[in-house]
Amino acid sequence: MTLEQGAVFAVIVLTLVMLALELWRYDLVALMGMLLLVILRIIPANEAFAGFGDSAVVTIAAVLVCSRGLQNSGVADLMAKWMSMIGNHLSLQLVVMCGVVIFSSAFMNNIGALAIFIPVAIRVARRSERSASLYLLPMAFSAHLGGLMTLIGTPPNLIVSSLRVEYVGEAFGMFEFAPVGLALSVVVVAFISLLGWRLVPRREEGKSGFAQFVVEDYVSEVLVPPESPLAGCRIRDRGSVSDADVWVVGIERDGERLPAPSAFTRLKAGDDLLVRAEAEALRQFVHDAQLELAESKPINSDADAAEEGTSASLLEALQSDEIKVVEAVVGPDSRLRGRTARALSLRDRYGVNVLAVSRPRTQIKSMVGDTVFKSGDVLLIQGPARRMSETLTRLGCLPLAERGISLGQPQRVALAIGIFGTALLASTLGLLAIPAAMTAAACGMVATGLVSLREAYEHIDWPIVILVGAMLAMGAALESTGGDQLIADQILRISHHVAPAVLLVVVLLLTMFLSDLVNNTAAVVLMASIGISVARGLGISLDPFLVAVAIGGACAFLTPIGHESNVLVFEVGGFEFSDFWRLGLPLELLIVVVAVPLLLWLWPM
């Protein structure tokens, strides 16, 4: 091993460890790893950023814009309506739900597709009197598999296709992965619907609804008497009366409810205030402002039906035709992640209040305003109804509360399908290269008003774009120093004793294992280089190894951190870390058994 190779391995291992520990967000970690290679003079500074101009990066951005256009048109909501009509038989429900998620994920961002159908799954679970966890984990795994149906289904597919151009001179076709993706999807859905669902634990504590929140702060009712110094004071100026840490989340005045009042609202004698505070802060506020305390009403309620009734009536007081309270999950790339509601000034900047936070098996001791949010947290958010959807999008949160199905206008549905379908047809027939076809479709979505220009930029997953660009540079460093060949040589040592198909299995398993620990895009960039070196060392076709790496990147089933879809359902389903491998391990073994013969048949060595 040369000094340069050792340095590259050290940087890659450090990067992978940092990605697994999730101390910083993955895009920052990847950038730091890339820059470290520049500082060590392993890759020239003028070549370090070449990965950001790769066709895979451009295609990923364009596909995300197209995905938003399909969502805005109502296509996904139309499918969600059909899903809600299915019967009460569990196996049939799972087949339909998983099938629809797979189909949607083939053409849309898989996180967005899964988020759309989570409320439908919760509705079906409640109607069938079953745990929502029975549906959520199979749907999350199905979102992974949907990406294998098309070349644009997931970033790893585009990455291996881009590498194929470099070594073979030709990219994979739009639907070239479809036979193996379809076969794996059928086998996996059949296994889940007939047997696999029995391996999913019933996590009743994960049921959706406001009853899931266990918080330490209370929403309490206090009366403002005439002698109170708060009478005539604006809400924003309450600090001049008391420095107690309280938030006014509602006012009842003259029989009228004012949920989420403005900071400039002036309080009056006789107002009933709904305030959120810890018990000690509440006592201080009542004393300083000379208020009359009514009944404290916790938003939580792991208790009995009586408490749930109280909670429901309280939530009613916090909502109106103009103000709504919704549940939303903090997404993997949310701007809330690693920050607090107070630091972000959510009320002033976005007009929303975070009333409560729920986190798996964690009792949050701090005030909600001072709680550092994590990916997967479920929040109870209060804000203007007409802007709630836009606000959640800006914050990077995904709504989970049951909502009405918005079918959109038929002409918008037809327009979205027409634009996207034309791009698919043009790329399939070879009239346009896939990056050009997807970019044209994205422009068409914006030009026709299906996606605003602002939405287009907001829905490009910039952290993934940066991750791909940075990891491609690290992959290039691995190749230029001969590091990938060094690893491949260790794998090739056993080639004299086993068939090449066994090495294909090794590459597939290694990619699966790595994808369970770190972001699957990072895993695929590194393993694709190794797979190519193994294939070239054997003097055989690169294709089965490249597709095996793509499959391995899609099968991060063993942990909740392996894929954003897993993170999304982790808290909503009330899962524990170990729940994923109970279903995920049999699925990964089943996929290896089915995928390897298919790869050898479709792409002979």
Question: pLDDT category, 479, cuts 50, 70, 90?
Answer: confident
Q: Where are the alpha helices (DSSP H) in 44-109?
A: 45-48, 55-73, 75-83, 90-107
Q: Residue 250 is part of which domain span?
A: 210-298
Query: Which CATH number fits the domain that encloses residue 236?
Result: 3.30.70.1450
One domain for residues 88 and 27:
yes
State pLDDT tens for residues 399-420: 765 444 444 456 677 888 888 8
> What pLDDT does residue 191 have?
94
Mean per-residue pLDDT over the chain, rounded: 79
Q: How far is 320 from 119, CA to CA, in rounded Å?
A: 22
The pair of structure tokens assigned to 248 is: 């006014």
Whether 252 and 358 have beta carbons less than 8 Å apart is answered as no
Let me know whether 16 and 117 are in one domain: yes
Does residue 407 form part of some domain?
Answer: no
Domain C-terminal end among 345, 379, 399: 399
Q: Are residues 392 and 496 in the same domain?
A: no
Which band of pLDDT confidence, cut at 50, 70 and 90, is reported for residue 298?
A: very low
- pLDDT band at 3, cuts 50/70/90? confident
The answer to whether residues 497 and 539 touch, using CB atoms and an 8 Å cutoff, is no
Tens digit of each residue's pLDDT (9 = 90 or more) over 92-128: 889 988 988 898 888 877 776 777 777 778 777 777 7
User: Which of 376, 399, 422 represents a domain boundary (last residue)?
Assistant: 399
* Cβ 116 vs Cβ 155: under 8 Å: no
> Both 198 and 85 in a single domain?
yes
Digit-coded pLDDT (tens) for 531-590: 888 888 888 889 999 999 999 988 888 877 667 777 777 766 777 777 888 888 999 999
- Torsion, Cα of 328, 26, 148, 603 (10° steps): -170
Do residue 245 and residue 282 come from a single domain?
A: yes
Kindly state whether residues 125 and 56 are assigned to the same domain. Answer: yes
Distance CA 315, CA 298 (A): 11
Q: Do residue 165 and residue 225 come from a single domain?
A: no
Same domain, 365 and 389: yes
pLDDT one-digit tens code per residue, 231-269: 888 888 888 888 887 878 788 888 777 877 888 888 888
pLDDT at 364 (0 to 100):
57
- Structural domain contains residue 411: no
Examine the domain organization and report whether 11 and 141 are in the same domain: yes
**Residue 532's closest CA among 581, 571, 586, 475?**
475
Q: How many helices (H) and strands (E) does the chain have?
A: 25, 9
52 and 133, same domain (yes or no):
yes
Both 55 and 196 in a single domain?
yes
For residues 330 and 455, membership in a common domain is answered with: no
Please give the Cα distance from 586 to 359 (Å, whole number).
Answer: 28
Classify residue 311: in a domain, yes or no: no
Residue 409 within any structural domain of the chain: no
Least confident of 42-56, 78-92, 145-159, 172-186: 78-92
Residue 508 located in a structural domain: yes
The total of structural domains in the chain comes to 3
Listed in sequence order, the residues at least 6 apart from 221 whose beta carbon sits closer than 8 Å to its beta carbon are 272, 273, 274, 293, 294, 295, 297
